[in-house]
Amino acid sequence: MAARMVVPAWVQARSLAIYLLVFQGGTAMGLAWGAVAGRWGIRSTLVAAGVGLIAGAGYHARFPLPRGDSLDLRPAADWPEPNISGELDIEKGPTFVTVEYRIDSLNAEEFVRTMADMRRVRRRDGAMQWELFVDATDPGRFLEEFVVESWLEHLRQHERVTLSDRQLQEHIRLLHTAPEAPHVTHYISASRSVRPSDALRPAPCDPPEGTKE
pLDDT, position 199: 37
DSSP β-bridge partners for residue 134: 142
Burial class (CB in 10 A: 0-12, 13-18, 19+), 12: middle
The confidence score (pLDDT) of residue 66 equals: 62
pLDDT digits (tens, 9 = 90+) for 164-209: 888 899 999 999 999 999 999 999 888 754 444 443 344 444 444 4
Per-residue pLDDT for 50 more than 70? yes
Does position 124 have pLDDT exceeding 60, yes or no? yes
Torsion over CA of 89, 91, 96 and 100, rounded to 10 degrees?
70
> How far is residue 165's CA from residue 114's CA, in Å, rounded to a whole number?
12
**pTM score, two decimals?**
0.63
| Residue 174 to residue 176: CA distance in whole angstroms | 5
